[in-house]
Amino acid sequence: MQAIATLSEDGDRVGGPGGETAASVEPPMGLRARKKLETFRALQSAARRLVGERGLANVTTEEIAEAANVSKRTFFNYFESKEAAIFDREPGRAERLADELAARPVDEPPLQALRAACVTTLRCYAHELQELTALVRAEPSLAGFQLNAFAGFEKVIVEWAAARTGTDPATDVYPALLAGVTNVMRQLTVARWRPETGDEGFLRLAEEIFDLLAGGLDPSSGVSPRR
């Protein structure tokens, strides 16, 4: 599964497998852009709902398209598979993380800045991540697609960290390390979150992991409230 490609004015895929897109969900948006975003969301919502209800093997791309009131051709203008329809990131989300990182004070330590930006982003999408976590638990074969969906965010972090610290990501490990730390935080938060704790429990797990990292992985530095 690849991340979402850029969409042309008529909804055709024009991007490459890297999934970068200049689309943004932030205003102002023209009517055509809003319609494309609405179609993307309708297809993704239908895919997640149907797979959650029936299981991955019992859902077809035709059924997803029908549930979203579009044609099969339109489905494939937006997604290359039903797995992609579940996990491809919405246009503008990686850019939104980039904006959060860029807004952090220049004198703020990189790990602290990364924490603030990541927690803010998680707060926006915590419920959606929980929904995806539930799908992966029910369908373990989807785990790889979920992992690939975060590649665009890792790229944003590497580029930001390199610019912030004046390092070269081709030769210096620090930018990739910060991106890797974020990936570990996400993986552990997704794996250890319990549905009954809701959004706040999800966010507390992320905060606890960043507490431990900031404390040099000293176990006493992590806050471990009952979740």
Of the candidates 70, 14, 12, 23, the one whose C-alpha atom is nearest the C-alpha of residue 45 is 70
Domains of the chain: 1-90 (1.10.357.10), 93-221 (1.10.357.10)
Q: Which residue reads 């993986």 in tokens?
A: 187
Listed as own residue / partner, the contacts of 68-74 with beta carbons closer than 8 Å and 24 or more positions apart are 68/39, 68/42, 68/43, 69/42, 70/39, 70/42, 70/43, 74/11, 74/39
Of the candidates 31, 36, 6, 28, the one whose C-alpha atom is nearest the C-alpha of residue 18 is 6
pLDDT of amino acid 166? 95
pLDDT of amino acid 223? 54
State whether residue 60 is helix, strand or coil.
coil
Helices (H), the chain: 31-54, 61-67, 72-78, 82-87, 93-102, 110-138, 143-148, 151-165, 174-192, 198-214
State whether residue 7 is helix, strand or coil.
strand
Cα 159 vs. chain centroid, distance in angstroms? Answer: 17
Q: How far apart are CA 195 and CA 223, in angstroms?
A: 20
pLDDT tens for each residue of the chain, 227 residues long: 333 333 433 444 433 333 333 333 355 678 888 899 999 999 999 999 999 999 999 999 999 999 999 999 999 999 999 999 999 988 888 999 999 999 999 999 999 999 999 999 888 888 888 888 889 888 988 988 887 888 889 999 999 999 999 999 999 999 999 999 998 888 888 778 887 888 888 889 999 999 998 888 877 766 554 44
pLDDT of amino acid 51? 96
pLDDT of amino acid 188? 86
Listed as own residue / partner, the contacts of 184-189 with beta carbons closer than 8 Å and 24 or more positions apart are 184/209, 185/118, 185/209, 185/210, 185/213, 186/150, 189/122, 189/129
The model's pTM is 0.73
Of the candidates 21, 19, 36, 136, the one whose C-alpha atom is nearest the C-alpha of residue 83 is 136
Q: How far apart are CA 99 and CA 117, in angstroms?
A: 9
Half-sphere exposure in the Cβ direction for 141 (13 Å, CA): 7
Backbone angles phi, psi at 7, to 5 degrees: -110, 140
